[in-house]
Amino acid sequence: MSPQPANLGKVRPHLVEKRDCKYKISVDDLKMSRVEIEEPEWINPQADNWKQHGKGFVILVEPIEMKKMAPFP
């Protein structure tokens, strides 16, 4: 799930209209094509653990020098 509230990421209507004209698509047609997509029957209660407890994980990616050959422990 997205950590933002549901209405936070709304796009300005004129930008959607501009995109629709440029790519010859329709927001309404896209919405209608997704109407029959069913919601999941069951959602894992651990899926939104951060929301329940207010804590999450952070992954820090750092470049590091790798050795081709390293001693086996």
Say yes or no to pLDDT of 2 above 60.
no
Q: What CA–CA distances, in Å, run from 48 to 4, 40, 43, 52?
A: 12, 15, 9, 7
What's the predicted TM-score (pTM) here? Answer: 0.41
- Give residues with Cβ within 8 angstroms of 3, minimum separation 6: 50, 51
* Token pair recorded at residue 71: 């001693």
pLDDT value at residue 71: 79
pLDDT value at residue 4: 53
The residues spanned by each domain of the chain are 10-35
Integer-rounded Cα Rg, in Å, for the chain is 22
pLDDT value at residue 35: 86
Question: Which range, of 1-15, 29-43, 59-73, averages the lowest pLDDT?
Answer: 1-15
